[in-house]
Amino acid sequence: MSQVERYKPYKGAAAGWGALVAVTRSWLGSKKALTNIRAMLKTNQNGGFDCPGCAWGESPENGMVKFCENGAKAVNWEATGRLVNPAFFAKHSVSALAAQTDYWLEYQGRLTHPMRYDAATDKYVETSWEEAYALIARHLNALESPHQAEFYTSGRASNEAAFLYQLFVRAFGTNNFPDCSNMCHEASGVSMKETLGVGKGTVVFHDLEHADAIFVIGQNPGTNHPRMLEPLREAVERGAQVICINPLKERGLERFQHPQHPLEMLGNGSKPTSSAYLRPALGGDMALFRGMAKFLLQWERDAQASGEPAVFDHAFIQEHTTGMDAYLAEVDATPWPHIIEQSGLSLADIEMAAAMYRKAERVIMCWAMGLTQHKHSVPTIQEVINVQLLRGNVGRPGAGLSPVRGHSNVQGDRTMGIDEKPSKALLDAIEQRFKFTVPREVGHNAVQAIGAMERGEAKVFIALGGNFAQATPDTPRTHEALRKCDLTVHIATKLNRSHLVTGRDALILPCLGRTEIDVQVNGPQGITVEDTFSMVHISHGQLKPRSPALRSEPAIIAGMAAATLGNHPVDWHWLVGDYSRIRDLIADTLPGFANFNERLQHPGGFHLGNSAAQRVWKTASGKAQFTASILPDDLVNAGVRKMNVTPDLILQTMRSHDQYNTTLYGLDDRYRGVYGMRDVVFVSEADIRKLGMQPGDKVDLVALWDDNRERRVKGFTLIAYDIPEGQAAAYYPETNPLVPLESYGDRTYTPTSKFIAIKVEKASASSLISAAVA
Ligand SMILES: Nc1nc2c(c(=O)[nH]1)N[C@H]1C(S)=C(S)[C@@H](COP(=O)(O)OP(=O)(O)OC[C@H]3O[C@@H](n4cnc5c(=O)[nH]c(N)nc54)[C@H](O)[C@@H]3O)O[C@H]1N2
Ligand SMILES: Nc1nc2c(c(=O)[nH]1)N[C@H]1C(S)=C(S)[C@@H](COP(=O)(O)OP(=O)(O)OC[C@H]3O[C@@H](n4cnc5c(=O)[nH]c(N)nc54)[C@H](O)[C@@H]3O)O[C@H]1N2
Ligand SMILES: [Mo]
């Protein structure tokens, strides 16, 4: 098939038949179809395991089996019958493995034994758990300072694992906790904590059932949170408005077919999920919300003049907020032409959004990476909060703010203290409970950790899950930084590229997955997770572990900690004999977890509580805070502007339908009509013509950044796509070489993965050859 034929626009609804076909294919492909179907039926049910996919939550009362196509893929990917065992590593050297694609690497199956890198043969060789722990302890204890080690966490780690890990690392002496959240919802946490006093969403599942309008901003739930489509569709059915703000017309947001409603599928009918769809410029959301505020302010003044009912919720503003006057002055001062130009929307679009917002009694704002991965993400989210505060849309049923989290327990990991900027309260609580002097220095986030390794300041890198080498920006540079380490350690379920970017010493420590039975001294154990609505619940693995040599994440952390620190500050091995002991320590240390073990008995788990939802504001002023930010002059970085090269396009990097972050389940992106390829770039037909090129042409993408480093990805196929002019979209992680390490969000250090100024060049001869080989 030619590249162009592999692009076929998708005409069906999201989910529905297409999803079932895809699920069946992935079941059959996993070699363990029947067991996995049985396991799947227990996902997200009391007594089963929590879906290892996304962090979306369920209606707590709803006992129905809930799963989605992409949750099914996540289960199957973990529960595969294929094994990456010592014989596999004996056959393939690390350099040979490094020549394979990311897809091939993970496809090989589950890691089965602890492996140590042998530089002499360039191969991983089997090692024992005890030798592995001893090697880690030797390296850690040889450092001049504990701050020379980096401890990464990916968001699948359970609460129990995360709590033990942070205790180990702080007892060792550092707050160097780079984590996936740094690259994800960091901006949501920063902006909400400052203005509302909580770093988490203020809504629970039921709020979605009572909202009159739900804004879905910079988020593609059809792929990344498929179970969210159902409440959205229900909302539209009962007459609520769903307003989507996304430059791409994402299929899941347009129409949705429920895979568990047989009648609807037989008729091949589908119901709309959205009532309005705005397509802003990349990074244009702050301008849009500023424009909405301008309309609201104008209507409020009109209402005051004519004696009509007020537009603002004055009682709420008076009692609960501060800073509105300064904010409204900034709204007045922001000129319309600037708003229109930066938002990429017409005045009429902005007026419509503002009118829909005003008309709705109760409004929920949901968002994900389209808002968080920009330089100005914090002021952008704070602008959304400003608009919500104007009409009292925080802290009442059916209204609020909902940053929709990514990894299934990324929110819980933060709650457990995986935080490079821990609060004083957290550190005091740990110190009091465990009686050791905790490190008070702010630690490294992901970007800073890469910098520290690059400069040779950090020498040990340990990762609790994830794929740091691929998920982070500036890929060649990040790989170089990792290679400078004395030791790299990966606790993982599947082989990925990070394991092949080794320090002088390197370990792969294979762990149990969420789906597997976890037996410790006191019998089978459950672990707990927190979903995006702050519901905490227990998860019990159902499947036989893929290898008898696997250990659980808590057991591995205990092993590393005991080897490094002995019994300080706790008896690590005793603790992991029964995870309820870890939960007792959590209950002693962290607010909201009193009687943790008892409360888990409650079907569906328990809610952690959210002060902002109670209209209690744990902010500096004790009130909800309006923020008077200035709309950025120009979204293109000042350094890039000085280069005197005009970018051809602004690129966003995103997920296909067949991937879980750096894990590729397949090479299709069904809803966007792409099959069997990933090195593609979506550009409007008009822009392709302007570039003097044709759809299907091979191009190199070159990032613009004023540091004289070349950042280029080669041999991408141009796809003519329904995308606003001036924009391009391509998949992550392939495009991470284009994201400069220094291009990150103000105050968040989140790489600007949704805003990269690029030039598009005809593919160089060498990239055409490599593309032909691939
Ligand atoms: N199946 C599956 N599920 C997942 C994941 C996965 O990879 N696969 N990843 C998990 C994780 S860790 C996360 S964080 C979430 C990610 O969930 P999403 O945030 O939905 O993921 P992205 O693919 O990055 O999609 C970003 C969306 O924002 C839009 N967008 C980009 N830039 C802008 C902008 O400037 N403004 C606006 N308004 N929109 C913009 C894009 O067009 C795209 O639709 O999903 C989680 N769930
Ligand atoms: N350009 C660009 N870059 C991005 C993003 C983007 O949108 N654009 N998104 C960012 C976001 S939102 C995120 S969250 C990060 C994700 O960054 P990470 O969380 O680091 O990456 P993942 O791809 O989710 O990690 C996958 C690996 O986790 C391991 N794994 C899977 N399950 C388990 C388990 O149960 N236990 C353990 N120990 N290991 C397990 C497997 O070995 C698998 O290979 O990437 C970020 N990077
Ligand atoms: Mo994420």
Question: What sign results for the dihedral spanned by CA atoms 221, 223, 227, 231?
Answer: positive
DSSP classification of residue 703: E
Q: What pLDDT score does 65 carry?
A: 44
Ligand with an atom nearest the CA of residue 223:
1
Q: How far is the CA of 183 from the centre of ligand 2 (A)?
A: 10
Residue for token digits 């701050």? 147
Q: Is 407 in the pocket of ligand 2 (CB under 6 A)?
A: yes
Q: Verify whether ligand 2 is closer than 6 Å to residue 743 (CB atom).
A: no
CATH 3.40.228.10 range(s) for the chain read 186-404
Interatomic CA distance for residues 637 and 640, integer angstroms: 5
What's residue 551's pLDDT? Answer: 98
Q: To the nearest 10°, the Cα dihedral for 502, 660, 251, 15?
A: 160
281, 378 Cβ separation under 8 angstroms:
no
SS3 category, 64: coil
* 218 CB near ligand 1 (under 6 Å): yes
> Please, which residues have CB within 8 angstroms of residue 141's CB and are 6 or more apart in sequence?
564
Q: Please name the residue that has the structure tokens 């300064």.
A: 326
- How confident is the model at residue 11, as a pLDDT? 72
Task: For residue 672, report the distance from its CA to the centre of ligand 2, in Å.
Answer: 22
- Report the atom number in ligand 2 closest to the C-alpha of 494: 42
Q: Using a 6 Å cutoff on CB, does residue 69 contact ligand 1?
A: no
Q: Can you name the residues that pair with 758 across neighbouring β-strands?
A: 649, 703
* 156 Cβ inside 6 Å of ligand 2: yes
Q: Which residue has a Cα nearest atom 4 of ligand 1?
A: 224
Angle at 62 between CA 671 and CA 409, to 5 degrees: 65
pLDDT of res. 42: 64
Q: Tell which CATH architecture fits domain 638-773.
A: Beta Barrel (2.40)
pLDDT in tens, 45-83: 556 788 888 888 877 665 444 667 888 888 888 888 899
Phi-psi region of 160 (alpha: psi -120 to 50; beta: other; left: phi over 0): alpha
CB within 8 Å of 1: residues ≥ 6 apart:
676
Query: Atom 32, ligand 1: which residue's CA is nearest?
Result: 370
Can you give the pLDDT at residue 77? Answer: 86
CATH assignment of 83-184+409-593, given 3.40.50.720, 3.40.50.1100, 3.40.50.740, 1.10.1520.10?
A: 3.40.50.740
In the block, residue with structure tokens 């040779």: 456
Ligand positioned closest to the Cα atom of 663: 2
152 near 179, Cβ under 8 Å?
yes
- What residue spans in the chain does CATH classification 2.40.40.20 cover? 638-773
d(CA 385, CA 192): 8
437 phi/psi in degrees, rounded to 5 = -80, 110
Give the tokens for residue 646. 């005009």
Q: Is the peptide bond between 569 and the residue preceding it cis, with omega within 30 degrees of 0?
A: yes
Does the C-beta of 377 come closer than 6 Å to ligand 1?
A: no
Q: Residues 166-218: pLDDT tens digits?
A: 999 999 999 999 999 999 999 999 999 999 999 999 999 999 999 999 999 99
pLDDT at 70: 81
Cα(576)–Cα(558) distance, integer angstroms: 7
Q: Taking Cα atoms as reference points, which of 729, 755, 472, 759 lies closest to residue 632? A: 755
Query: Which CATH number, 3.40.228.10, 3.90.1150.10, 1.10.1040.10, 2.102.10.10, labels domain 186-404?
Result: 3.40.228.10
User: Going by CA atoms, what residue is nearest to atom 28 of ligand 2?
Assistant: 466
Ligand 2 neighbour 738 (Cβ under 6 A): no
Residue 512: name the closest of 200, 164, 49 by CA. 49
Every domain of the chain with CATH number 3.40.50.740 lies at 83-184+409-593
* Segments of the chain with pLDDT less than 70: 1-5, 13-47, 60-67, 256-273, 765-774
Q: What is the pLDDT of residue 53?
A: 82
